[in-house]
Amino acid sequence: MKYEGRIRLAAFAVLLVAGGFAASQAAEVHLRGECRCAGALVTLGDVAEIYCNSEIEKAQLSRVELFPAQAEGS
């Protein structure tokens, strides 16, 4: 599966989980066109801008692990 396809699949999975929250705790997620990861895992905060009323919820969603990062230079 292409790397881009994995981003979409993982983001969809996160949205399904986030959809279980009450409407008052809703968040809006906008996927970026490209990203760079500092660590060994790609997180939702690496690949998307997250908009919500709660900074705590935004921080929690930003840390959601999606999949391992590709090796440097690939």
In a domain, residue 37? The reply is: yes
* Number of structural domains the chain divides into: 1
More confident residue, 15 or 47: 47
Query: Is residue 12 in a domain?
Result: yes
Residue 44 maps to a domain: yes
Is there a domain that residue 74 lies in? no
Task: Determine contact, residues 48/11, Cβ cutoff 8 Å.
Answer: yes
Asked if the model's pLDDT at residue 72 lies above 50, the reply is: yes
Judge contact between 37 and 46, C-beta under 8 A: yes
Q: Which amino acid is at 19?
A: G
In a domain? residue 73? no
Residue 22 maps to a domain:
yes
Position 21 in a domain: yes
For residue 8, pLDDT over 90 is answered with no
In a domain, 32, yes or no: yes
Whole-model pTM: value is: 0.63
**Amino acid residing at 51:** Y
Domain range for residue 53?
Answer: 3-68
Digit-coded pLDDT (tens) for 22-70:
455 688 999 998 887 878 899 999 999 999 999 999 999 999 999 998 8
Q: Is the pLDDT of residue 20 over 60?
A: no
C-alpha of 34 from chain center: 12
